[in-house]
Every structure is written in C-alpha cells, then in structure tokens.
Structure 1
Amino acid sequence: MQTTQSTKRKQPFPLPNPHIIAKFGLVQKRNTQKLKHTTNKMKTPIIALILSLFLAFSSQAKNKTVKTDSVEIIKDFNSAFKFQNYYISAQPSLEVLRWYKSQGVSSIINLRTEKENQDFATYAFNEKNMAKELDLDYYSLPIGGIKDYTPENLEAFAKLIEGDKKLLIHCRSAGRATTVFMAYLIKHKGYSVNEAAKVGRQLKFSLPLEKVLGKEISLEIED
C-alpha cells in the first residue's frame, strides 16, 4: 500500500496574531470590515486630541519668551541699535528723534541725570518738551553711576518697558542703557548671563579683560 505524503506547504514562520497585525495597520481581509468600523469610531476623539494639543502648544508658544541674540545696527546714527521691539542708543538728535517716531516708537526712557538733561537743553533741545510735541510718552529714570545700578531701579525700568510697544532707551552714549537692558533680560526675560552678554556685546557692553585676552569670558550668577 502506497503511503501518500502530505503536500501541505510549511509556513516559514507562524503567522502573527491578527490583533497584533492590526496594530501595525496590516489587516487580514476578513478583519478589514471590522477595522474600518473601529477606525471610524476612533476618528473623532483622535481629531479632538490633535486639536487640543495644537491649541495647547500655540498657547504655550505665545506665552514663551523667544530668545534671540540678533541685534540690528542702525548705521546712519551714532551708537544706535535695534533689538526686538527696543531701540537702544546714545543721546538722539532732534532729527534722529523724529526718525524713531517714524519707525513706530511710542515711548522714550531717558536714563540721563537731571543735570545732564539740563545741560543738553542749553545747547540742543528740551527732550521732554519735544517728546510731548511728537506725541511720545516720556519717562525719566536717572542712572548717574554705580550707585544707581540698584534692584529698585531695575524693577522701575521693567515696569516701564513691559508690553510689546516699540521703545527708545537711551543715555549719553548707550553704555548705561545697555547695562540696564542686559539686567532686564536676565531678571525678567529668562536669559542667562552669557546669553544677555552676547546681546550686550553687540550693543555697548565690553570687558577690558576680554579685549586683553582676545577671548570672551563666560559669566554666571552666584546664589
């Protein structure tokens, strides 16, 4: 009697569980209809989830400070710079003040002392009066030297520049304006000292030691 050998083809490997296949999108024909039904049921919650994540991300991005070190040098004027919505400069002339107005500046923060402003008015113009004539908000925050670099003055400065309006911040040569602005970036905008210094070096911040060494110095705040 002849023995008949089975001709059933051997599977090279066992077929995976159809439920596992379905998770990877590889569905057998007999399960296609069932998967379609499941997919349709899942569409609505998935879309809702994606939408909620998008809205949450958008809200977070809107509230998060965007850090940048890009400073625009305004070459037509002496020591004049633009960083984000802030103009930081030396004492502007009347012509330059009018130019700032044309660029959308709405407020001036003058860091010069009362004596400096009085002296300037004798040979140039009264800045406070001119600001009023140009319909610019004018604020005086005298920073005369080391004694005026205080946490209290920094807080006063921060209150003046909050918001997204365009501002002009100036002193005589932009040095004091740079120092106070750097402190503001660190204390109120989340910049590290090195990040603020990177911005400041493009303004009027400098350390003589860096010039002697020919290298930038890494800085940090000690608790």
Structure 2
Amino acid sequence: MKSLSFLLMLLLINLVFITETSFSKSFEKKDFPKIQKLGEIAPNLYQSGNLFFSGQPNLETFEWLKTQEVDLIINLRSEKENDEFAKSAFNEKERAAILGMKYISIPVSGNDSYTKENLIKFGDALNSRYNKVFIHCASCGRVSNFMIAYLVQYQNYEMNEAIDFGKQLRFSFPLENLLDKKIIWKTD
C-alpha cells in the first residue's frame, strides 16, 4: 500500500511539474516564437505556439477559439472600450464564461497604464496553468507591446529579439523606418 501511495505521489508531482512548465516551454529561447497569421479565420488574428493574438474579436472568433481549446482570455482594452463594446455587440466576459473560458481584464487606456504592475498581472496570467491563451486589445497594438515586455522581463529575450517578435504582430518602430535601418538596443 505504501509503494502505491508513493507512486501516486510521484505521478502527481510529475503532473504538476508538466502543467506548470508547459506554457513556458512554448517560449524557450532556442525556439524563437514564430507568428502565423490566421487571416482566413478573422482579420488581425495571429498564433504563436499556444498563444493567439488579435484586435477585438467577434462572436465567431470566440466560437473558433473554443474549438482550438483556448481556456484563458486576456483582454487589454480599457474599461470604457469594454463597456461601449458590450452595449453595441456582446459582453465578452459573459461570453467567455458561457464557453467555459477563464477571462482576465487588464485595462490599458493610455501611457499611464503601461506600468510594471500591469506587466506583472500579464506575466502572472501567462505563466498560470492554462493550456492555450488568447490575448487581445482593440487592434493588437497593446498586445504586441505587452508581449515584447513579457519576453524581455520573463523569458530573458534580448530587446531586439522581442521587438522582432512584436513586429510580426502590430508593433512598429517608426525610427527604424525614418532611418531605413535596424536599431540595435542595449539592455541593462
């Protein structure tokens, strides 16, 4: 009986370890995350491993995400944007609950919202025990900024690597366009 209990305990520890590390494995540095544009599903919809990104999704996108086994939604739109959208279309938090998805709102409404505290909330959500995650804002711009910061802060990416990831979404660095050359960032 003791050996059966011991084996069950080992199995449980292994399951917890696999679950806790499964998400972070999708962003190991040796496998630089590539973005796939899923424009045939919805405009501004992208995928990288277990992550999906977009601007404001419609009901059909929510339904499709459920078929992809997405179990966490992170919404970076402001409270005002969410309220206005709910009045004209649907309540996203309620829709997520109906579909059995966890919903986290991290309201970002301007430069004052790009805080270390919001990045910590974002990082905690991404590092939680969810299988697949959908992250969105209104146009995917805030998403790319938070992903760049997440890759640098939590996954030890160099700034240029993280920016290259963000550029596959909706991040732009106009100074590079003006100078017509890549900017080499230095990190502390």
Report the TM-score when normalising by structure 1.
Answer: 0.68
Distance of 1:89 and 1:135 partners within structure 2: 20
Instruction: Indicate the RMSD between aligned Cα atoms, in angstroms.
Output: 1.7
4+ runs deviating over 6 angstroms: none
Among 75, 82, 85, which residue is 2:39 paired with? Answer: 75
Higher relative contact order (CA 8 A, sep 6+): 2
Which residue in 1 is equivalent to 2:156?
Answer: 190
Name the CA shift for 1:119/1:211 in 2 (closer, same or farther; >3 Å). Answer: same
- How far did residue 190 of structure 1 move? 1.0
Q: Provide the secondary structure at the position in 2 that maps to 1:75.
A: coil
Distance of 1:121 and 1:220 partners within structure 2: 42
CA contact (8 A) 2:72 2:130 kept: no
Which residue in 1 is equivalent to 2:7?
Answer: none
Distance of 1:102 and 1:91 partners within structure 2: 18
1:54-73 correspondence runs (5 A): 66-67=28-29, 68-73=32-37
Distance of 2:172 and 2:69 partners within structure 1: 30
Distance of 1:219 and 1:150 partners within structure 2: 21
CA contact (8 A) 1:110 1:171 kept: yes
Structure 1 unaligned blocks of 5 or more:
1-61
Letter in 1 for 2:111: I
CA distances 1:104-143 after superposition (whole Å, capped 9, x unpaired): 1001001111110010011110001101111110111101
Q: Flag the structure with larger Rg.
A: 1
- How far did residue 98 of structure 1 move? 0.8
CA contact (8 A) 1:69 1:198 kept: no
Distance of 1:99 and 1:220 partners within structure 2: 40
Which residue in 2 is equivalent to 1:90?
Answer: 55
- How far did residue 182 of structure 1 move? 0.9
Letter in 2 for 1:117: N
Among 100, 105, 120, which residue is 2:65 paired with? Answer: 100
CA contact (8 A) 1:111 1:142 kept: yes
CA distances 1:155-190 after superposition (whole Å, capped 9, x unpaired): 111111114621000000000011011100100011
Q: Does 1:205 align with 2:167?
A: no
Which residue in 2 is equivalent to 1:114?
Answer: 79
Name the CA shift for 1:138/1:164 in 2 (closer, same or farther; >3 Å). Answer: closer
CA contact (8 A) 1:185 1:196 kept: yes
1:117-156 correspondence runs (5 A): 117-156=82-121
Distance of 1:195 and 1:81 partners within structure 2: 18
- How far did residue 210 of structure 1 move? 1.6
Distance of 2:96 and 2:118 partners within structure 1: 22
Structure 2 unaligned blocks of 5 or more:
1-21
Distance of 2:157 and 2:46 partners within structure 1: 19
May I ask how many residue pairs the two structures share in their alignment? 161
Letter in 2 for 1:201: K
